[in-house]
C-alpha cells in the first residue's frame, strides 16, 4: 500500500467517524455538530461531493461498506431536500448528477443512472439565450452564467455519452464547451473566469479567482478527450492545469469557510484525474499533489485528524464539512496519482 493510499484510507475513515449521521443518512455540516433548526441548510452540494468521496474510497479498496453508505446518503438527501434531488441551483444538481453517475458505474444499480438522467434533463433546461447561451447558475437568475454551472455540464455530457452511447449528450457537452471558451476562458493564459452577467449583462467577474473554476475546466477537457480522443480537449486540460499550478501554487490557498472550503477539493479531484489518465501529466501533477498533501498532513486537527480551509494551518473550530472534504479529496487524488506513477514506472 502506498503512503498516500493509506493516508486516504485514514482520511475517509475520520470523515465517516466524525461527520456521518446515520440517523439522518447525511454528513453533518460541521464539527462539533450543532443542533440544527428546520430551516438550516444541510448543504446539498457538500453532500454530493461526500458521495463522490465514497465512490473514490470504493475504487481504492473495494469495500462494500462505502457503497452501502453512498446509497444511504442518496436516500438521506431526498427528505432533507423536500423529497427530491432537484433544487434551484443548476451547479448543485450537476455535482449530484456527476456523483450519481460514478456511483452507478461502480454499483451497476440502475436507480442511480435514472436519478442522474432525471437531473440531467432538468439541467439541460437551464440553457438559455442570455449571454449568447450557456447554462444558468440558478433558475431565478437566468441571465447569470458561471463556470461551475457549465464546465461540469461538459464533464457530465461527455461521460454520459461514453456510458450510454447516446450522441445527444456529447452534442450538448460540446455546445457548452464552445460557449465557455468564447466567454469565460482566457485563450492566452488558460485562466478561467468565474461568471458573466451577475452584476450586469456582459460584465465578466474577472476578479473572482476560485480554484474550482480551473478544476472543472480541467475535468471538462479530460472528459471530452476520453469520450472522443480529441487532442484539442486534452490540450485544454493540460493548459488549464498548468495555469492553475502557476496561479495558485505551490500550496493551494485557503478560500475561507463555508462553500469556499470545498473549492480546492474540486481542483485536486480533476488534477488527480488528469494525472491518472494522461501519462504526460502524471509526474508534474503528482508531485504538486504530493507536496500539498504533505503540507496538509502537517496541519491536521488533532482531534479528528482532518484538515480545515487552510492546508498550511491547523484548523480551529467549528470545522466545516466542506473543508474537511477537501482534505479527503486531496489525499485520494495524491494516492491516485501515486498509483498511476507506480504503474508507469515513473
Q: What tens digit of pLDDT does each residue of 198-255 get?
A: 999 999 999 999 999 999 999 999 999 999 999 999 999 999 999 999 999 999 999 9
- pLDDT over 70 percentage in the chain: 98
The SS3 of residue 235 is helix
Q: What tens digit of pLDDT does each residue of 179-193 get?
A: 999 999 999 899 999
Using the CB atoms, write b or e for 264-299: b if 16+ within 10 Å: bbbbbbbbbbbbbbbeebbebbbbbbbebbebbbee
Per-residue pLDDT at 37 exceeds 90: no
Q: What is the pLDDT of residue 97?
A: 99
Q: What is the pLDDT of residue 79?
A: 96
**Mean predicted lDDT score pLDDT of the chain:** 96
Q: What tens digit of pLDDT does each residue of 42-61 get?
A: 999 999 999 999 999 999 99
The SS3 of residue 273 is helix
The whole-number average pLDDT for the span 13-30 is 97
Q: What is the pLDDT of residue 38?
A: 56
Per-residue pLDDT at 36 exceeds 70: no
pLDDT tier at 35, thresholds 50, 70, 90 = low
Q: What is the pLDDT of residue 342?
A: 86
* Max CA distance (Å), the chain: 53
Q: Is pTM, for the whole model, over 0.85?
A: yes
Per-residue pLDDT at 262 exceeds 80: yes
Angle between helix axes 211-228 and 231-248 (nearest 10 degrees) is: 160
Per-residue pLDDT at 39 exceeds 70: no
Taking the C-alpha atoms of residue 345 and residue 174, their distance in angstroms, rounded to an integer, is 35
- pLDDT over 90 percentage in the chain: 94
Tell me the C-alpha to C-alpha distance, in Å, between residue 290 and each of 249, 251, 271, 287, 296.
Answer: 12, 10, 12, 5, 10
Q: What is the pLDDT of residue 345?
A: 75
Computed on alpha carbons and rounded to an integer, the radius of gyration of the chain in Å comes to 19
What number of other Cβ atoms are within 10 A of residue 60's Cβ?
19
Per-residue pLDDT at 40 exceeds 90: no
Q: What tens digit of pLDDT does each residue of 94-140 get?
A: 999 999 999 999 999 999 999 999 999 999 999 999 999 999 999 99
Whether 307 contacts 300, CB under 8 Å: yes
The SS3 of residue 98 is helix
Q: What is the pLDDT of residue 344?
A: 81
Per-residue pLDDT at 346 exceeds 60: no
Amino acid at each position: 500500500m502506498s503512503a498516500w493510499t493509506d493516508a486516504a484510507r485514514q482520511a475517509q475513515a475520520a470523515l465517516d467517524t466524525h461527520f456521518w449521521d446515520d440517523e439522518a443518512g447525511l454528513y453533518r455540516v460541521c464539527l462539533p455538530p450543532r443542533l440544527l433548526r428546520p430551516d438550516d441548510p444541510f448543504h446539498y452540494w457538500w453532500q454530493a461531493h461526500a458521495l463522490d468521496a465514497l465512490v473514490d474510497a470504493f475504487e481504492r479498496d473495494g469495500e462494500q461498506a462505502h457503497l452501502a453508505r453512498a446509497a444511504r446518503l442518496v436516500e438521506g438527501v431526498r427528505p432533507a431536500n423536500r423529497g427530491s434531488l432537484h433544487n434551484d441551483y443548476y451547479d448543485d444538481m450537476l455535482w449530484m448528477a456527476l456523483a450519481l453517475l460514478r456511483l452507478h458505474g461502480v454499483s451497476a444499480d440502475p436507480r442511480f443512472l435514472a436519478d442522474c438522467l432525471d437531473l440531467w434533463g432538468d439541467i439541460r433546461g437551464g440553457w438559455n439565450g442570455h449571454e449568447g447561451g450557456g447554462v444558468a447558475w440558478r433558475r431565478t437568475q437566468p441571465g447569470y452564467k458561471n463556470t461551475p454551472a457549465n464546465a461540469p455540464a461538459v464533464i457530465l455530457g461527455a461521460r454520459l455519452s461514453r456510458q450510454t452511447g447516446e450522441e445527444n449528450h456529447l452534442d450538448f457537452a460540446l455546445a457548452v464547451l464552445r460557449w465557455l471558451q468564447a466567454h469565460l476562458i482566457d485563450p492566452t493564459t488558460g485562466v478561467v473566469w468565474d461568471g458573466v452577467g451577475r452584476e450586469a449583462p456582459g460584465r465578466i467577474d474577472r476578479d473572482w479567482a476560485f480554484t474550482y473554476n480551473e478544476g472543472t475546466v480541467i475535468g471538462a477537457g479530460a472528459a471530452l478527450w476520453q469520450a472522443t480522443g480529441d487532442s484539442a480537449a486534452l490540450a485544454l486540460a493540460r493548459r488549464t492545469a498548468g495555469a492553475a499550478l502557476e496561479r495558485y501554487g505551490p500550496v493551494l490557498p485557503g478560500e475561507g469557510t463555508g462553500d469556499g472550503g470545498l473549492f480546492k477539493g474540486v481542483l485536486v479531484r480533476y488534477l488527480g484525474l488528469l494525472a491518472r489518465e494522461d501519462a504526460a501529466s502524471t509526474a508534474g501533477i503528482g508531485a504538486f499533489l504530493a507536496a500539498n498533501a504533505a503540507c496538509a498532513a502537517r496541519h491536521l486537527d488533532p482531534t479528528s485528524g482532518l484538515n480545515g480551509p487552510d492546508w498550511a494551518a491547523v484548523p480551529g473550530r467549528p470545522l466545516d464539512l466542506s473543508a474537511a472534504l477537501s482534505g479527503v479529496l486531496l489525499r485520494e487524488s495524491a494516492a491516485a496519482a501515486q498509483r498511476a506513477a507506480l504503474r508507469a514506472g515513473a
